[in-house]
Amino acid sequence: MVIVGGGFAGAATAYALSRRPGAPSVVLLERERGPGHHASGRNAALGRQLVDDERVTDLTLRGAAFLRDPEPSFSDTRLWSPVGSLLLADSEADARALAGRAENRSIAHERVSMAEAAQRFPLLDGAAGAGGIYVPGDGVIDVHGLLMGYLRGATRRGASVELGAEVSFIERENHGAGDFVVGTRRRSVRARCVVVAGGAWTARVAGLAGARDPGLSPIRRHLLVTAPVPSIDPMAPFVWHLGAREYYARPEGAGLLLSGCDEAITEPGAVSVVPSVVERTAETLAHAAPALAELGVARIWACQRTFTPDRRPLIDWDPEVPGLFWVAGLGGHGATASQAIGEDAATAICNRLGGRAADDARAE
Ligand SMILES: Cc1cc2nc3c(=O)[nH]c(=O)nc-3n(C[C@H](O)[C@H](O)[C@H](O)COP(=O)(O)OP(=O)(O)OC[C@H]3O[C@@H](n4cnc5c(N)ncnc54)[C@H](O)[C@@H]3O)c2cc1C
């Protein structure tokens, strides 16, 4: 089988498939010359387990459990820094709701006031909010180590990973059986199943096979790294203030990584920095957390999170194109949830294809 895209969606699926005896053999085709050029290498690396949607929380909980105790192929990197998180709310009712949800999901947590939050993250001094919860089991992810671990683990078990391999056509040979010829500039590969895992470009890739866009939206977000902050504790928890003036922050090197959680629907790959975002982020923070607003900006970039209409990842067969499988719309928690997403994809693929397709990918 062929997987198109070597970000978390494609790499975690290849990894999960490679661990199942009798699963289809995998050829993963990635357009860029190195892994992690897009969302998977340019995200905030926050391992937050309790997220807005309960179904996505199922995935982040499972993904985080893997990140804390990964397989041996990841052993030369520490994937998870167990720094904890401060999830903060605008109102007392919202803070209580967060604690209630954490309780229901058996996520260890402590209720915190804003003053207690500022003891753990001193730059919250003077910040607005009604407190929230401290989640000691959250962490920061080594996203490059994670992505490389998936790819290394998959190739060690026989998957072939090709970089600089942009898929430019997908032809269906036998419409009933769902056989494909997948083409790059250099060669074509015949496969019974094609997994489309192209991040912001997934709908375009699937469109090559004649599939309809399920309504994927690439949504641009900016991340900023500040100038060095004296006395920053590198093991301080990350802060995620939820609500009207949403922002997050965590130590990054000698400074902080910050986002004002801006969102703009854009064309796939439209990630030029919008200069006014620095000003708008400063405005958000000036109201929400004034000490953060005063820090100088050393670096800024933008990247796209891709969402389905219900904001849950799409991990399923295409309803109209036999043999086409979507791993798409990983949204804003795709790094944390990646292992669970890969496992769910591999389960669905093996349930249909079983071990039948062990010699599925044959180079022409
Ligand atoms: C600003 C930002 C902050 C984020 N913060 C967090 C966070 O703190 N925690 C968290 O868990 N998640 C976070 N995420 C989400 C996470 O990064 C994404 O959900 C995840 O990386 C998406 O992975 P992907 O494989 O779907 O997409 P991508 O990483 O974009 O990978 C898709 C790959 O497909 C390739 N491709 C596309 N078209 C073709 C083609 N025709 N042929 C071959 N290859 C092709 C692309 O080159 C790309 O490498 C954040 C994302 C962003 C943008």
pLDDT (tens digit, 9 = 90+) per residue, 211-266? 999 999 999 999 999 999 988 899 999 999 998 889 999 999 999 999 999 999 99
Does the CB atom of residue 197 touch ligand 1 within 6 A? Answer: yes
Give residue 78's pLDDT: 85
pLDDT at 91 over 70: yes
- CB of 101 sitting under 6 A from ligand 1: no
Which is higher by pLDDT, 363 or 169?
169
Taking the CA of residue 286 as centre, how many other CA atoms within 13 Å lie in the half-sphere pointing to its CB? 6
| Mean pLDDT across 296-304 | 96
Domains of the chain plus CATH, in order, are 2-47+143-215+310-363 (3.50.50.60), 85-136+217-307 (3.30.9.10)
pLDDT at 362: 42
Percent of the chain residues topping a pLDDT of 70: 95
Q: Is the CB of 51 under 6 A from ligand 1?
A: no
Tokens of 92: 């007392």
Residue 361 has pLDDT above 50, yes or no: no
Does 251 sit in the ligand 1 pocket, CB within 6 Å? Answer: no
Evaluate if residue 331 carries a pLDDT over 70.
Answer: yes
| Average of per-residue pLDDT across 279-291 | 91
Pick the residue whose CA is nearest to atom 51 on ligand 1: 43
pLDDT over threshold 50, residue 359:
no
pLDDT value at residue 178 = 63
Closest residue to atom 14 of ligand 1, CA basis:
332
pLDDT at 74: 81
pLDDT of residue 177: 59
Rounded average pLDDT over 83-88? 98
How close is the Cα of 347 to the center of ligand 1, in Å? 22
pLDDT in tens, 12-56: 999 999 999 888 899 999 999 999 999 999 999 999 999 999 999
Average pLDDT over residues 320-347: 97
Given a contact cutoff of 8 angstroms between Cβ atoms, the answer to whether 227 and 298 are in contact is yes
If you measure from the C-alpha of residue 2 to the centroid of ligand 1, how many angstroms do you get, rounded to a whole number? 18
Q: Report how far ligand 1's centroid is from the alpha carbon of 7 (Å).
A: 5
Taking residues 317-328, report their average pLDDT. Answer: 97
List, in order, residues 6 or more apart from 279 with CB less than 8 Å away: none
Tell me the angle at which helices 334-353 and 143-156 cross, rounded to the nearest 10 degrees.
20
Q: Helix H segments across 128-231?
A: 143-156, 202-208
pLDDT at 30: 98
- Residue of minimum CA distance from atom 26 in ligand 1: 199
**Average pLDDT taken over every residue of the chain:** 94
pLDDT of residue 23: 85
Residue 110: pLDDT over 80: yes
The C-alpha atoms of residue 339 and residue 72 are separated, in whole angstroms, by 14
Task: Give CA–CA dist 342/247, Å, rounded.
Answer: 29
Best CA proximity match to 242, nearest among 121, 110, 98: 98
Q: Is the CB of 221 under 6 A from ligand 1?
A: yes
pLDDT at 44: 98
pLDDT category at 175 given cuts 50, 70, 90 is low
Cα three-residue angle 49-203-322, rounded to 5 degrees: 100
Q: Is the CB of 240 under 6 A from ligand 1?
A: no
Closest ligand 1 atom, residue 336 Cα: 11
* Mean predicted confidence (pLDDT) in 263-278: 95
Tens digit of each residue's pLDDT (9 = 90 or more) over 121-143: 999 999 999 999 999 999 999 99
Cα-to-centroid distance, 127 and ligand 1 (Å): 32
Confidence band, pLDDT 50/70/90 cuts, at residue 354: confident
